[in-house]
Structure 1
Amino acid sequence: MDNVKILGASMDYTKENGFVGRIQFEIVGQQNQYEMTIHSRKRTEWGYGLFFLNESGDEDELLAVEDMLEEDDELFDYLVNAAEEKLVLEHH
């Protein structure tokens, strides 16, 4: 993923909430930084939300990134994996 820079990632697990992850990232060539929150009960199907990381930015760029996440499974998996790696590290 040459056009995506991971700025930070985390994932927690509780019986009540399942797996909840957060990935902060930026897309090369865009002004904005983003945070994607992800949620799953069993780590198979992920729901997500996409937000501006620090401050509101260009709404069109946010929508373009959302389209990228919907269309590019490799990108989505790359971001999910960044958070999943943090879950493993924190629980060992």
Structure 2
Amino acid sequence: MKPNILEASMRKDEEGALLGRTVFEVEGHKAAYEITFYSKKGQEWDYSLNYASESGIEAEFLSVDERVEQDDDFFDALLDAAWDTLEE
């Protein structure tokens, strides 16, 4: 399972915390996904996975959620896509 990145962004809020977003597809899945990221210092990340627009198949969503949790390379690919857009 490899993500196909559709769009990504990251910015710093007024307190310096990082807020990111990556929209992506997974081959063979009905719906696109959106993952949002939050970090106070850019070290440890909180995230939320959702459908990007319309709902899809729950089993597909759960498989992507598990992949995000278990596969550091998959997670990092999504985070890096957002991180690469940050303007310093």
> Shorter-chain TM-score category?
over 0.9
1:7-45 Cα distance to aligned partner (Å, 9 max, x none): 000001023361000000011111110000000011111
Identical-residue share of aligned pairs (%): 42
Query: Residue 40 of structure 2 aligns to which amino acid in structure 1?
Result: R
Q: Secondary structure at the match of 1:82?
A: helix
What secondary structure, in the 3-state scheme, does the structure 2 residue paired with 1:38 have?
strand
Contact 2:35 2:48 in 1 (8 A): yes
1:77 aligns with 2:76: yes
State the match for 2:20 in structure 1. 21
* TM-score, normalising length: structure 1: 0.88
The residue number in structure 1 matching 2:10 is 11
- The RMSD of aligned alpha carbons is 1.4
Using structure 2 for the length normalisation, give the TM-score.
0.92
CA deviations over 1:27-74 (Å, ceiling 9, x no partner): 111111000000001111110000001111112211110000011000
Cα distance change on mapping 1:63 and 1:72 into 2, 3 Å: same
Task: State the one-letter code of the partner of 2:37.
Answer: I
What corresponds to 1:64 in structure 2?
A: 63
Looking at secondary structure, tell me which structure has more helix per residue. Answer: 1
- Secondary structure of the residue that 1:86 maps to in structure 2? coil
Whether 1:51 aligns to 2:29 is: no
Gaps of 5+ in 2: none
Give distance in 1, aligned partners of 2:14 and 2:74.
Answer: 28
Between the aligned partners of 1:63 and 1:70, the Cα distance in structure 2 is: 10
Runs of 4+ in 1 over 3 A off after TM superposition: none
Give 5+ residue unaligned stretches, structure 1: none
Q: How far apart are the structure 2 equivalents of 1:3 and 1:66?
A: 13
